[in-house]
Amino acid sequence: MTCKTAAMRKLWDRAEQAIVGVLGLAALAIALWQVLSRYVLPQQSISYAEEVMVYLLIWAIMIVSSQLVSTDSHVRPDIVRNIVPPGAARWLEIFNCAAAVAFCAALTWYSWQVVETARVIDEQSSSDLQFPMWIYYEALPAGGGLMSIRYVIRLIEIAGAATGDGAPRQPGAHELPGVD
Amino acid sequence: MAVFLTLFVGLLAAGMPVFLVLGISVGVVFAASGRPLVGVAQLLINELNSPALMALPLFVMAATFMRFGGIAKALVGLAAAWLGGLPGSLGLVTVVACTLFAAICGSSVATALAMGTILIPAMLERGYPLSFALGVVGASGTIGIVIPPSLPLILYGIVSEQSVPRLFLAGILPGLLQAAAFFVWVLYEARRRKFPVEPVLPLMERIRVTLAALPALLVPLVVMVGIYGGFVTVTEAAALSAVAALGVSLLFYRGFHWTQTLSVVAYGLRSAASIMLIIATALAVGHWVTESGAPAKLVEFLLGHQFLPWQFLLAINLLLLVLGCFLEVTATLLLVLPILAPALRPMGVDPVHFSIVFTHNMEIGLVHPPVGLNLFVLSSVAVAPMGAVIRGILPFLVILLLVLAVITYVPELTLWLPNAVFGR
C-alpha cells in the first residue's frame, strides 16, 4: 500500500467517523428533548421525535458498518480458520471476501430498487412529519455500497499478497461491546 | 429447510461473518421459493425501522461512554474500597464490580471488556495466576446480560411480545444468585491457593471513594427510576443512560476529552452496528421461519408425544448449549425464539421464566469453548493463549451449569420479583 492510498483511507475513515458521530449525537439530543419536553415544555414537544431518532441511528449504523469490514471486526466464528493450515485459511478468506462482495453488491442493487420504488410511489411515513421514506431507505444501499468497496479492497489485499489470510488481526479486533 | 440448514452451517464453518451467513442464507431461500430478492431488502430495512429496537444501539453507546469515560474505573474503585482485607480481594472485586457494571450495561462482552482491561493487569501484578484472572473476568462478565438492562432481554421482549420492564425485573434475583455463587467460589479458591489480601482502607478513604463513585451510580438510577416510575419507555431510558454516561464522563471523570466525543460516539455506534446487522438479517430469517410453519409443527409434535414441561426445558437447555457453542447471542435468540415461543404456553412454561432460562444459556454459550465470544475478548485483551482462558473458565462453567439447573427448575426465583411488582 502506498503512502497516498494510506492517507486517503485515513481521510475516508475520519470522514465516516465525523458523520457518524454527528448523527449519533443528534439522535441523543432528539431523544433527550423528547423526554424533557414531555415533562417540562409539553407545548414544545415534537410528536415525531422518536421516528427521526430511528432514521438518524440507522443511517449512522449503516455508514459505520463499513469500518467493521476494514478492521475485520464483524462477529464471526474463526475456529476453522485457526486450525486449518495457513494456505487453506488464505483460500477460505478469499472465498469469504468474494461471497461478501457478491452479497453486499446484491444488497446495494436490490435496496436501491426499494429506494426507487418508494420515490416513484412517493411513500411517506404515517406520522405528522410525513417523512419521504426513500431518504430512510437510502441508508441500506449507502451502507451496502460502502461495505462492498471495503470488501473489494480487502479481497485485493489478501489475493495480492503471496501469503497470509488478512491476519494478523488488529489487536482489539474483538473489542465489540455486542449484545451478549 | 434442509437447503437453509446446509448453507447456514457450511458458511458458518468457513468463518464468514454471522450477518453475511444469515443474509446469504435468507437470500438463497427467498430465491429458491421464487420470490423477488427486492423483498429481502425491503424486509431488512423495515425490520430496522423500530423505535423499540433502538434501545440496543443506545445502550451499547452508553456502555462505550462508561468504559472510556472512567465510570468503569470508579465502580472498580468502589468495590475495592469495601473488599480489602478479604482473601483474594481483587478476585472478589472483579465479581462485585462486574455485577455493578452489569446494572448499567446490557452486554456481557462489554462488561468483560470494561472490567478486563482494568482488572486483569491489576491481578497479574499482584501475582494471581493468569488463568484464574481470565476466568473470573470472563465468567463475571456474563452477569451483564441477566442483570438489567439487558440487550438479549430487550430482543426477547420484542420477539415474544413480553413486557421488557417485567423481563428486566425477572433477571435481578438469578443474576444476584450467580454473583453470590461466584463470590463464594472465589473466596474458597483464594483460601486454598493463598491469593494476596489487599490492605483495609481507612474509613475516611472508603467514604471518599464511595462519594467519587456516586455520579457513576446515577446512571443505573436514571434507568430504573425512569422505567419503573413509568416516566419513560425502555428506548428513552437507554437514550437517557447514554446522555447521563456522556455527561458524567465529560464533567466528573474526564476519561476522554470533549474534543474526542465524536470519535467515541462513532466507536460506540460501530460496536452497535456489528449487532444491528446481525439482528436485521436474523429477523428476516425469523420471518421466513415463522412463515414456513415450523413453529406450529413443533407445538403439534410436542403435544402429540406428551412431553412434560421439565423434559421440554431440559431438551431446550441442551439445544441452546450446543447452539451457543457456534452462534452469537442475538443470532441464536432471533433464530430459535420464533420457533419456540408459540410452544411455551401449551407446554405450561411461563414466557417470563423462559426468558431468563434462555438468557442464562446464552451466558454459558459466551464462555463455552470453542467459540465463546467472551473467551475471544479476553484472549485479545490480555494477549493470552486460548488454553489459559479455557482452563480458567472451567470451574466457573460448572457453577454456571448448576445455577442454570436452579433457574430452570425453580421458576419462583425468576418470577417472584416481577409478580410482586406488577402482579400476575
For all residues of chain A together, what is the average pLDDT? Answer: 85
Q: Residue A173 above 70 pLDDT?
A: no
Closest CA to A19 of A142, A107, A150: A142
Start-to-end Cα distance in chain B: 38
Contact A173, A72 (CB under 8 A): yes
Residue type for position B182: F
- Note if the bond before B370 is cis, omega within 30 degrees: yes
User: Are B380 and A31 within 8 A, CB to CB?
Assistant: no
Task: Band the pLDDT of A178: cuts 50, 70, 90.
Answer: very low
Q: Chain B closest CA to A127's CA: distance in Å? A: 13
Note the pLDDT of residue B370. Answer: 66
User: Are B17 and A111 within 8 A, CB to CB?
Assistant: no
- Residue A124 backbone dihedrals phi, psi, to 5 degrees: -125, 155
Note the pLDDT of residue B147. Answer: 92
Which residues in B lie closer than 8 A to residue A140 (C-beta atoms)? 41, 44-45
Interface subset of A 141-170, CB within 8 angstroms of B: none
Which residues in A lie closer than 8 A to residue B147 (C-beta atoms)? none
Dihedral sign for Cα B365, B370, B372, B375, please: positive
For B337-361, what is the mean pLDDT?
91
B46 touches A: beta carbon within 8 Å: no
Interface subset of A 120-139, CB within 8 angstroms of B: 136-137, 139
DSSP conformational letter for B372: -
B203 touches A: beta carbon within 8 Å: no
Task: Band the pLDDT of B316: cuts 50, 70, 90.
Answer: confident
Note the pLDDT of residue A174. Answer: 37
Task: Band the pLDDT of A175: cuts 50, 70, 90.
Answer: very low
Closest-CA residue of B relative to A51 is B51
Q: What is the pTM of this model?
A: 0.91
For B353-378, what is the mean pLDDT?
84
Q: Chain B closest CA to A5's CA: distance in Å? A: 22
pLDDT digits (tens, 9 = 90+) for B168-184: 999 999 999 999 999 99
pLDDT digits (tens, 9 = 90+) for B193-212: 999 998 899 999 999 999 99
User: Are B15 and A96 within 8 A, CB to CB?
Assistant: yes
Note the pLDDT of residue A172. Answer: 40
For all residues of chain B together, what is the average pLDDT? Answer: 90
pLDDT digits (tens, 9 = 90+) for B123-147: 999 999 999 999 999 999 999 899 9
User: Are A75 and B151 within 8 A, CB to CB?
Assistant: no
For A48-76, what is the mean pLDDT?
91
**CA angle (B260, B382, A6) in 5-degree steps:** 50
B134 touches A: beta carbon within 8 Å: no
| ipTM of this complex | 0.89
* Three-state DSSP state, A48: coil
Note the pLDDT of residue A171. Answer: 38
Note the pLDDT of residue B389. Answer: 84
Note the pLDDT of residue B103. Answer: 86
Closest CA to B198 of B78, B73, B75, B86: B86
Cα separation, B156 vs B185, whole angstroms: 31
Cα separation, B243 vs B263, whole angstroms: 15
Closest CA to B224 of B61, B100, B104, B97: B104
- Residue of A39, A110, A174 lying closest to B40 (CB–CB): A110
Dihedral sign for Cα A72, B136, B322, B283, please: negative
For B254-268, what is the mean pLDDT?
90
Q: Residue B107 above 50 pLDDT?
A: yes
For B276-287, what is the mean pLDDT?
91
Q: Chain B closest CA to A3's CA: distance in Å? A: 24
Note the pLDDT of residue A33. Answer: 94
Q: Chain A closest CA to B19's CA: distance in Å? A: 8
Cα separation, A143 vs B256, whole angstroms: 29
- Please name the residues in contact with A19: beta carbons below 8 A apart, sequence gap of 6 or more: A60, A63
Task: Band the pLDDT of A79: cuts 50, 70, 90.
Answer: low
Q: Which of B8, B16, B71 to mutate to test the interface with A (most CBs of A within 10 A)?
A: B16
Task: Band the pLDDT of B110: cuts 50, 70, 90.
Answer: confident
pLDDT digits (tens, 9 = 90+) for A127-170: 888 999 999 999 999 999 999 999 999 999 888 876 555 554 44
User: Are B41 and A114 within 8 A, CB to CB?
Assistant: yes
B51 touches A: beta carbon within 8 Å: yes
Closest-CA residue of B relative to A55 is B49
Cα separation, B68 vs B47, whole angstroms: 31
- Please name the residues in contact with B123: beta carbons below 8 A apart, sequence gap of 6 or more: B90, B91, B94, B132, B133, B136
Q: Chain B closest CA to A121's CA: distance in Å? A: 15
